[in-house]
Structure formats: structure tokens, C-alpha cells
Amino acid sequence: MKTFKVALAGLDGQVIPDWVPKRLAEEKIAFVAKECHTREELAEFAADADVVWLFGGSKILHGNLDVLPRCGAIIRTGSGTDNVPVKDATRLHMVVANTPESLNDAVAEHAIGLMLAVIRQIALQDRKVRSGLWDRYEGFPRWHLHGQTLGLVGFGRIARSVAKRMRGFEMNMIAFDPYVSAAVFAEYSVKQVKLEDLLASSDFVSLHCPLTEATRHLIREPQLKLMKPTSVLVNTSRGPVVDEAALISALTQGWISAAGLDVLDPEPPAPNNPLLKMENVVITPHLSGFSDLFLPENWRLSVESVLDLFHGKWPRSYVNPEVTPRWSLKAR
């Protein structure tokens, strides 16, 4: 019987904790790791792997799944799977697992943090004070939360965490997500609405949808023009969910009032990107999922997914439930 093999083909600059290979060795799972940059490297390294693992955003699998004839599952450490060819993997009977639980709370907290940073003008005030200007009317807060409407675009785990935390601000909460049942909306006391209605009625719009063909440039000029001129857009999902040129127009022409952005398109931004010079924009470098728990939890949940697959179980989280897996899998 062939040894079950796991090939970590994308490390994203991370150092593998000592306990990871030891834990897999306890189960007699063969484990190899190498940052693969080319199709040829991937074929040589992982052609006989049962599981191919990407820790982070490597795009090495795009167009290269045919060099992995034995692969039955792909693990993408992290939440988004836009760097994995999910449709092709599904067609080839590969389960695509991820580890969203490692960053749900952190992203939710960061989205709220961006919202507060914009509302209270914290970043702008900090820059003014550091430059020697002590004037409370420079960067005077122009928004408030109590009684306002928060619109969540996407109502998965992270958006639900946002809703749970924002309840204390006594906001009206609405959300758009065609893939979530009415029962889930009711559980969180969030009203389900159409996207157009959400944009038109929200004072704050927070984006929490994955990047797919359907969501690329989901927010573009027509959508931004639906929003209130006093509204704030927060994006902690993926940069290409928003048409950045349209967003720049919206912010400069007053279609919306301000934005808090953890993601851009492209990343990093060009030095002459107009967003970098706007005082009504707060930007962070795609780190909303990071915290002191981020790396330990990502390693733990990734190894847990490997062990589930090795023992013939569905992993805790996977993004292609329609797949017919190469192996017979049972519930965890």
C-alpha cells in the first residue's frame, strides 16, 4: 500500500513549526515542503502527492492541476481560495479545503476597526498631531454609529461575527447574500435585502464576499452611485470585488463620503495611486486576518484538515461541496 503523501508547495515565506512534520509522521504520513515556482518544479515535487497544500496565496496550481494525477485534495491555508482553480479541481474530483476559522474574528475586528478609524478620523488626526498641528477641528468627526444602518455584502462567518459585535452599537443591520438561508439571517437579527436596496439605504457598507467570477467588480460605478453621499465603504474581502477606478471617482466626486480599505487592486498600490493621497480614506496592507493567534491556528487547522482526509473524513471547511471526491469520505 502506497504511503499517503502531503506536499506543501507554497509556504508564503513561513517557517514550518517543528511539531507539524512530527505530528504527520506519527500517523505515518509522508510530508515534504518546497516553494514551487514553475510547472516543472510542481510536477517533480508533487506528482505523487495525495494532498497538495498551499500556505497562503501562491498561484502555482493555476493551469497545472494536470501534473498532479494522484491528488485528491488541495488545502489552502487561509480563507480566500481565489488563488486555487476551484472549478478545475472540482471537475478532477479534488476537494478544496481552507481554514477560515483561523481569521474570522480578526477580520471582523479589523473591519470594525477601519469603520471606527474613518468615523472618528483617527488616522487623519494622528497624522496632524505628529506634524505639529494640535487642532481638534482638523479631521473633525462627521459620522456616528448609533441608530445608523450597516449593510453587510456577504453574510458568511466573518460578516456574522461583525453583526454580533456591532449589535452593541444599536445599529440597524441588513445584509445581502443569495447563498444564505433566511433562518441564518433571523438567527442574527439581520434583515435580508437585495444588493441594490442595501446600497441605497446603508450608512456604512462592509464587504465580506469571496472573490469569484460573480463578485469581481461587484461594486462598480452604478452600485457606488446608488449609495448615500454621506456613506462609508469598508472592504476587507478582496480588492477586485471593487472597481478601483470607480471607487476613486466616487470618493473624489462625492458619490460616497469615505472608505476604509484593507485590500486594493493591485497590491501593493502604485506610488501614484490617488487613494494614497485622500484624507477621507484609511488603508491597511491586507492584514485584517492577522493576530497573535493567526499563525498557530492556521497551522493547527491545516494539519487537522490533512488528518481528516487521511482518515477518510471531510475536512472541517471546504469550498466545493458539489465535488465528487476521489476518495470515499464520511462526516467528521
Q: Which positions are catalytic?
A: 238, 267, 286
Q: Are 35 and 11 in contact (CB under 8 A)?
A: yes
Residue 55's H or E segment, with its range, is strand 51-55
Per the omega criterion (within 30 degrees of 0), is the bond before 210 cis? no
Alpha-carbon span 167 to 56, nearest angstrom: 32
Dist. CA 328–CA 119, nearest whole Å? 51
What is the C-alpha to C-alpha distance for residues 99 and 77, in angstroms, rounded to an integer? 5
Do residues 96 and 74 make contact, with C-beta atoms less than 8 angstroms apart? Answer: yes
Provide the phi-psi class of 170: left if phi over 0, else alpha when psi is between -120 and 50, else beta: left
CB neighbour list of residue 128: distance below 8 Å, 6 or more residues apart: 135, 138, 139
Half-sphere exposure of 177 (CA within 13 A, CB side): 26
| DSSP state letters, 195-247 | HHHHHHH-SEEEE-----TTTTT-B-HHHHHHS-TT-EEEE-S-GGGB-HHHH
Angle at 16 between CA 13 and CA 20, to 5 degrees: 150
Give the count of beta carbons closer than 10 Å to the beta carbon of residue 17: 14
Q: Extract the runs of DSSP E, i.e. beta strands, from 56-143.
A: 73-77, 95-98
Burial of 263 (0-12, 13-18, 19+ CB in 10 A): buried
Separation of first and last alpha carbons in the chain = 24
